[in-house]
Structure 1
Amino acid sequence: MKEGTFHANAGAAAADAFYSGLTRTLDTRADSRLYHMRAFNGWVKATQIAELDPDISSAANNGKKRSRRAPLRVLDLACGKGGDLGKWTLHQRGVENYVGVDVARGSLIDAAIRARTMSKRKTCKLRKCTFTLADLGEDVPGRKRSKNANKMQKLLTWTMQNETNEEKEVDPKFVALEGGGIAETDKFDVISIQFAIHYMMQTRKRARRFFHTVSSLLEIGGNLIATTIDARVVIEKLMALGLDLHFDEMDQHEEVDKSSNEEIHHNGNKRRKVNDENEVTVKVGNGVCRLKFDPAVVRKVFEPSNSIEEMFGLQYTFTLVEGSDHAAGVGEAVDLPEWLTPIPALQELAEEAGLKLEYASNFHSFYQERKDPAKFPAAHNALYNMKVLNRNGSVSEQEWNVSRMYVAIKFRKVGESSIHIGDEDVGEDEI
């Protein structure tokens, strides 16, 4: 589990290396310069989860229709260290089955230990819990990867309910299981992917694989929820930089600082061309949040196109500065590759997968819609219980500005996926 290469995709491998080495805990998190922003992000997730009430009553369960109020079957993608386990177990409907999936091996070991600890509490209702190592842009837990595959893929898996007393006394053991601990007949009421769906947007092929997998695992009437960087805000901030992004060949190869690069428009204003060697950086919150783009990607963002293919591969590197100690989870993050997640691209993919978009709400709008204590008492009280607000009863301007960079998204499954997945990626163990 701790040695070797586990992911074919470079982005997934980089995320595995970074997050497996991150040691953020509840103790070290308090040292973060963005403590209240992180608490606010957690509040958005907790509120999203608490509001979920998927109607899958038409679905059959061993020949019987499931109750409208049956406990939730949860698939938590990019589950990390299992930090949202408590949020799920607090849901008013309870949890019947929880499966967490992540690319980071170190995080999954910590998640399994967290689940063990929780299960020992008398008040804990977590009885069935599984963690699986997978990259959802490549791997397919619980389903065959194509119609011509004879077997499901084997994935490294840990299951709480299968542990012996002796195994509970040592490090969690992950073993290769067909389907990653998910049976081919298993379905979920809710699938969540928090702050990670952007890793699926590297290519359209990768994103289609993800949405098809999600649809095949999600029950009709069930929900897919996500949080990610809000591409609409990023584009707004790129426009505010006042860059001159011309699309003729001459503009793309001139040097920025030469006087010849300044020309007169028909309205008399001067312009300055962008050199392809100069990276374009969006800075938010006095620079604690930075998104760095290659100029060619920025041109791609703004160049008119009717092709959905142009909405994928919009790569940037993401840095969030929380402090000076990366090992404690409060340092300057490594420049991890991420990809913009345009809402129109998500919506088109989702419709092809049988999912309907219910909302795409920027974190500021999400808060404004739920801040009234009379209409949303639980969400309002959670602002204080989760320590979202500082001693002044607010969030600092710096943290508030950074929080606007994110969006909360919710889909409902209304039909089956019409996406076709080819056979070229089927492995030998699936034949």
Structure 2
Amino acid sequence: MASVQGIPEGWEVLTSRSKGLDYYFNKKTGKQYWVDKDLPEGWSKIIEADRRTYYFHISDEKRTRSYEKPTMLAPASPPPPPQRPHAPSIDASVEPPPFHPPQRRGSNSLHDLLSPVGAPSVASPDEQHTTSRHDRSEHGHEDDVDSSKAKFARHHESSPASIPSHEHRRSSPKPPREFEPVWSGSATRGAVPITSRSGGTTSDRTDQEKAAAFYSNLSRKKTSDRADSRLYHMRCMNNWVKSVLIQEYSQKQSRVLDLACGKGGDMNKWAKHNFQLYMGVDIAKGSLEDAAARVQQNGDLSRSDIHLVHGDLGEVSLLQDTLLCWTTRRDWHRGVPVDRPHSFDVVSMQFAFHYMFCDEPRATRFFETLHQSLRPGGMFIATTIDPNRIIQKLMATVGGTEVVDGNVVGPAPIELQDAKGRTLCTIRMDPSTRDRLLHPSRDDQGFGLRYMFTLNDGDDEEAVNLPEYLIPSSMLRRLLDLHGFDLVLQENFQTFIGHNKDAHRHLLMKMNVLNFQGTISDVEWDIAGLYQVLAVKKRAT
């Protein structure tokens, strides 16, 4: 075997700064495969869920795929010069030991496919406790940072006996099943009168401005740069979840409204689903300019019917207000974006729904926009933070303190760390939010549960560092019912992945969700547990 050897034209070998591992990278296609020094040059491997390993040459994965390990061909005489020069090193004579990733039991369960080797099993909502930072470090393996967010996972598809559990856990009080504000009296639509379009508080406007500035200034990285990010597999998982949501809860030839569309990263996902029209709306003008450039540089997208709109979803009306717009037929101009109500088949809002819940006026404005935009029977799909999992994490910090330079500066934040002890995700509750969650009141309606969410992309880079708001499930159900919607799906990421991994298994590999061990790291799976998916249907009448 291994009659095909060497690195094909267009490929190069790069080294991941965060992992210290080499990988093959194709500049044209963006494909990446890990380098295995035990294999002939140009060959890589993938470990499947049933522990079988298949090998392939990077020139053509499908044609060269085999379960037989390729052998090295004897070098010609004289041997060819090395493909890449190696810098001299004081340890040049010392050959590092080969890396053998730990193997998992053969199983088709969710956790044998996606949870890390040696990770704890996911308990039922009544049994779940938070694993301490030290437990994750001791039992984790080489990190491949990922992030996502969800509510309590239902225990499904995996057998607790098949997954090694941590021996040491921090005992903490059980979190409430759900933060359930008690509604005082019957609520009516628009219970808090909107005296102006903004309707929000000063702090709310500041938060929206922060979000706009942050995302406008966030650069869109090349594929090779994203692969080196500590959050690379997180982004791949997020994209997989969004792709599955689109495929499962929308139809071909849909008219799509993408709220908080950012730099247009989901346009290609919708294009693969053959949209009829795509309209993206965002508060960040800089992000929309990047999205317009993305369309112009993509032949297929540039020939599609694409509209981009600059506006704050909690303040403006797409049907009434004159806003800054861009289309594939016309450059930036001012106009009313939507010419008729109920004209969209599906509305999507990915990782931004939580920004709409700082107060009731903003949430009310959003649901009015949503109701006016969707046709009867149309779908709203979203990914957002899961309040119940956040409360679980918060309860695990009770009694802890944050110490800086030997001084106690406040209660301990929620921190998720990788196997190297690096903090990749930090959640700091506002003091009022912390008090409301730990001491719920019957009069608390659930708006304005503010916290600071930070994701670290590298030592000096932050992927997210913004204030967000929890969405209590009881409040969400109330608002949906009040505005004429039915909740079709509400699942945490872990549960959603388990339900859809088999039907969309090919996408797991194609979208690089799994790392070179055929799984994901402890911290990736833990951060994934912070998010949930939502699918909502507008009532026909």
Residue correspondence of structure 1 range 138-157 to structure 2 within 5 A: 138-142=315-319, 152-157=320-325
Confirm or deny: 8 A CA contact 1:37 1:395 kept in the other structure. no
Q: Which of 351, 362, 369 lines up with 2:481 in the alignment? A: 351
Residues 1:86 and 2:268 are matched in the alignment: yes
Offset of residue 335 of structure 1: 3.6
Q: Which of 523, 532, 540 lines up with 1:398 in the alignment? A: 523
In 2, Cα distance between equivalents of 1:356 and 1:334: 31
In 1, Cα distance between equivalents of 2:257 and 2:230: 31
Residues 1:230 and 2:383 are matched in the alignment: no
**Could you say which residue in structure 1 is the equivalent of 2:348?**
192
**Could you say which residue in structure 2 is the equivalent of 1:148?**
none
Percent of aligned positions with the same letter in both sequences? 39
Q: Which of 9, 13, 18 lines up with 2:214 in the alignment? A: 18
Residues 1:297 and 2:437 are matched in the alignment: no
Q: Which of 392, 414, 417 lines up with 1:285 in the alignment? A: 417
Aligned to 2:276, the other structure's residue is in SS state strand
Q: Which of 302, 305, 314 lines up with 1:128 in the alignment? A: 305
Amino acid at match of 1:288: L
Amino acid at match of 1:10: T
In 1, Cα distance between equivalents of 2:513 and 2:303: 26
Amino acid at match of 2:224: D
Q: Which of 33, 37, 53 lines up with 2:234 in the alignment? A: 37
**Could you say which residue in structure 1 is the equivalent of 2:47?**
none
Amino acid at match of 1:381: H
Confirm or deny: 8 A CA contact 1:187 1:219 kept in the other structure. yes
Higher helix share: 1
Offset of residue 110 of structure 1: 0.8
Residues 1:413 and 2:517 are matched in the alignment: no
Amino acid at match of 2:481: E
Aligned to 1:401, the other structure's residue is in SS state helix
Confirm or deny: 8 A CA contact 1:285 1:401 kept in the other structure. no
**Could you say which residue in structure 1 is the equivalent of 2:40?**
none
Q: Which of 209, 214, 217 lines up with 2:365 in the alignment? A: 209
In 2, Cα distance between equivalents of 1:401 and 1:141: 37
In 1, Cα distance between equivalents of 2:426 and 2:520: 20
Confirm or deny: 8 A CA contact 1:130 1:159 kept in the other structure. yes
TM-score (norm 2): 0.58
In 2, Cα distance between equivalents of 1:411 and 1:126: 31
Offset of residue 256 of structure 1: 11
Confirm or deny: 8 A CA contact 2:367 2:483 kept in the other structure. yes
Offset of residue 307 of structure 1: 3.8
Amino acid at match of 1:346: L
Residue correspondence of structure 1 range 354-393 to structure 2 within 5 A: 354-372=484-502, 376=503, 379-393=504-518
Residues 1:315 and 2:511 are matched in the alignment: no
Amino acid at match of 2:211: A
Aligned to 2:515, the other structure's residue is in SS state coil
In 1, Cα distance between equivalents of 2:410 and 2:424: 20
Amino acid at match of 2:534: I
TM-score (norm 1): 0.72
Amino acid at match of 2:284: A
Offset of residue 371 of structure 1: 2.1
In 2, Cα distance between equivalents of 1:256 and 1:75: 42
In 1, Cα distance between equivalents of 2:501 and 2:519: 12
Q: Deviation digits for residues 83-120 of structure 1, max 9, x if unmatched?
A: 101110111xx2111000011111100111112222x2
Distance verdict in 2 for CA 1:128–1:398, change over 3 Å: same
Amino acid at match of 2:276: E
Distance verdict in 2 for CA 1:368–1:343, change over 3 Å: same
In 2, Cα distance between equivalents of 1:308 and 1:220: 32
In 2, Cα distance between equivalents of 1:295 and 1:356: 34
Offset of residue 175 of structure 1: 1.8
Structure 1's unaligned 5+ residue stretches are: 1-6, 55-69, 143-151, 164-172, 245-254, 258-274, 326-330, 417-431
Structure 2's unaligned 5+ residue stretches are: 1-202
In 1, Cα distance between equivalents of 2:235 and 2:506: 17
**Could you say which residue in structure 2 is the equivalent of 1:110?**
290
In 2, Cα distance between equivalents of 1:206 and 1:340: 14
Residue correspondence of structure 1 range 250-265 to structure 2 within 5 A: none
In 2, Cα distance between equivalents of 1:133 and 1:85: 17
Residues 1:175 and 2:333 are matched in the alignment: yes
**CA radius of gyration, larger in:** 2
Amino acid at match of 1:13: E
Amino acid at match of 1:206: R
Confirm or deny: 8 A CA contact 1:280 1:295 kept in the other structure. no
Q: Deviation digits for residues 230-267 of structure 1, max 9, x if unmatched?
A: 111000111112349xxxxxxxxxx999xxxxxxxxxx
Amino acid at match of 1:12: Q
Offset of residue 296 of structure 1: 2.4
Q: Deviation digits for residues 31-55 of structure 1, max 9, x if unmatched?
A: 210211110011000100011246x
Offset of residue 127 of structure 1: 2.1
Q: Deviation digits for residues 150-185 of structure 1, max 9, x if unmatched?
A: xx211110011x23xxxxxxxxx42221x2x21134
Offset of residue 306 of structure 1: 3.2
Moved segments of 4+, more than 6 Å: none
Q: Deviation digits for residues 20-71 of structure 1, max 9, x if unmatched?
A: 11113233211210211110011000100011246xxxxxxxxxxxxxxx61
Q: Deviation digits for residues 272-327 of structure 1, max 9, x if unmatched?
A: xxx9x724411123421111012321111132333462x110101110011135xx
Amino acid at match of 2:346: V
